[in-house]
Amino acid sequence: MSVPGGPVVVAEAPGGGPAYVVTDHDLARAVLVDPRIGKDPALAPPSWDRWTSGLEPTAAEQPSLTTLDGPAHAALRRAHAPLLSARRAAAFAPRIREIARGLLADAAREPVVDLAADFTTRYPLTVLCELLGVPLDEIDRAAEACRGVLAGDPAATGRAMATYGELAASALAPGRTGLAAELRDTVPDGTSTGTLHYLIFTLLFAGQLTTDPAAGFLLADALDGGRREVPADDLVRDVLRRHPPAPLSLWRFTTEEVELAGTTLPAGSPVLVDIAGIGATVTDGADLSFGAGPHFCTGAHLAQTELRVLVEVLREGYPDARLAVPHSALRQERPAGLGGARLTALPVRLVP
C-alpha cells in the first residue's frame, strides 16, 4: 500500500540537499532491514549541522542502539532485550498499576485537572525511574529536564541532557538495584562507564519522550464518549497508529548506491520512513509505530504495558471521568525536532 506521492518522495532536508522519504508500507519494512542503509550519523552529509538536522552523536563518539549497525548493534541489543521483554513488562505491570493509580489520585484532588500539564510527563518518568533504579526523589528534576528538551532551545536541551546523565549515574550508585544495574552486568565486555551512562540516559529520554504524548492522546480517546467500550489493547494500538510518538524514523543513510521502487539513491543519501503517513493508511494493525527489523524499539513492550494499564486504571477508578471540553476542542503542538505532536492541554473532570 502507498500514499499519494509515494512510494519514495524527494524532499528538502533541514540540513540542506535532498532527503528521500519512504511512504509505502512494504517498501518501508524493506528499508528498515536493508544493511546498505545505515544508522550511524557519521554517514550524514558533512555540511549538515547536528542541531538543525536532529542528529545524535556518531557511533564512534557515543555507541548506542540507535547509532550502531551489524554485529556491534546485535551485541548491544542482546544486553537490552531480556530486560525489556514482554515477560518482564508483564511482571512490572502490578507496580505500574500502583503508580498510575497513585498519580491519578493526586490529580483528582482538583475538580478539573490538565493531565497534559504534568501527569503525562510524570507517569512514564516515574515508571522508568522505578524500574531503572533512579531514586524517586529525583522525579521533579527529571520532569524539568523533559520540559527543557521540549523547549527547542539548544542551551536548555544541553542542560536537560546533563541532568539525564546525572540521573543515569545515580541509578548505578553503590547499593542501587534495578534495570540499570542489570544492564551494567550484561553489556558487552569493554563497554566504558560513559557509554553505559549514555545507554541508561537513552532509556530514560526515549522512554519518556515517546510515551508522554501517546498517553495524552490515549487519555483523550479513552474519555471520548464513543470509545469508552473499546478494549484497552485495541485502543492503545489504534492511538499509536494514528498518533505515532515519532512521525518519521530517525535518519538513515545509504552506504552505497541503492534503488528503491525505481528511484536511484546515490551513496550517502539521507533516508526517512514516513511512519505517520503509513500509519494513516494501515488498518490491519501492522503499523510501524515502534519501527521494524533489527532496530525495532526495545522498549515497545514496556510502553504498550504502561499505556494499557493507564486505560484500565482510569476506567476502573474513574468510570464517570470525562473531558472538560469537547474532544474536537483539543489542540496539538509539534515541538522542535523529529518528535511527534502532543496535546497542548487535556482538561479532565476526574470523578471517582
DSSP string covering 148-195: HHHTT-HHHHHHHHHHHHHHHHHHTSTT--SHHHHHHHHSPTT--HHH
pLDDT at 206: 87
Contact 186, 312 (CB under 8 A): no
How many whole angstroms separate alpha carbon 246 and alpha carbon 276? 8
CA angle 207, 251, 18 (to 5 degrees): 150
Q: Retrieve residue 135's grid coordinates.
A: 531514586
Please determine, for residue 352, whether its predicted confidence score (pLDDT) is greater than 70.
no
Contact 122, 113 (CB under 8 A): no
pLDDT at 286: 67
The mean predicted confidence, pLDDT, of the chain is 91
38 pLDDT band (50/70/90 cuts)? very high
Pick the more confident residue, 64 or 245. Answer: 64
Please compute the mean of the pLDDT values over residues 38-57 and round it to a whole number: 92
Please determine, for residue 4, whether its predicted confidence score (pLDDT) is greater than 60.
no
Please determine, for residue 86, whether its predicted confidence score (pLDDT) is greater than 50.
yes
* Range with lowest mean pLDDT among 1-10, 198-207, 268-277, 328-337: 1-10
Please compute the mean of the pLDDT values over residues 80-93 and round it to a whole number: 95
Please determine, for residue 145, whether its predicted confidence score (pLDDT) is greater than 50.
yes
* Range with lowest mean pLDDT among 19-28, 198-207, 251-260: 198-207
- Provide CB contacts within 8 A for 207, sequence distance 6+: 124, 128, 299, 302, 303
- Provide CB contacts within 8 A for 165, sequence distance 6+: 197, 198, 201
106 pLDDT band (50/70/90 cuts)? very high
pLDDT at 156: 82
Please compute the mean of the pLDDT values over residues 127-134 and round it to a whole number: 95
Please compute the mean of the pLDDT values over residues 134-159 and round it to a whole number: 83
Phi, psi torsion values for 28, nearest 5 degrees: -60, -45
pLDDT at 199: 92
2 pLDDT band (50/70/90 cuts)? very low
Please determine, for residue 23, whether its predicted confidence score (pLDDT) is greater than 60.
yes
Name 37's bridge partners. Answer: 254
Percentage of the chain with pLDDT > 90?
A: 72
Please determine, for residue 273, whether its predicted confidence score (pLDDT) is greater than 50.
yes
Please determine, for residue 59, whether its predicted confidence score (pLDDT) is greater than 60.
yes
* Range with lowest mean pLDDT among 144-153, 204-213, 285-294: 144-153
Please determine, for residue 288, whether its predicted confidence score (pLDDT) is greater than 50.
yes
Q: Retrieve residue 325's grid coordinates.
A: 471540553
3 pLDDT band (50/70/90 cuts)? very low
How many whole angstroms separate alpha carbon 41 and alpha carbon 57? 7
Please determine, for residue 319, whether its predicted confidence score (pLDDT) is greater than 50.
yes
pLDDT at 1: 33
Please determine, for residue 246, whether its predicted confidence score (pLDDT) is greater than 90.
no
pLDDT at 39: 96
Please determine, for residue 31, whether its predicted confidence score (pLDDT) is greater than 90.
yes
How many whole angstroms separate alpha carbon 97 and alpha carbon 87? 16
Identify the H or E element spanning 17. none
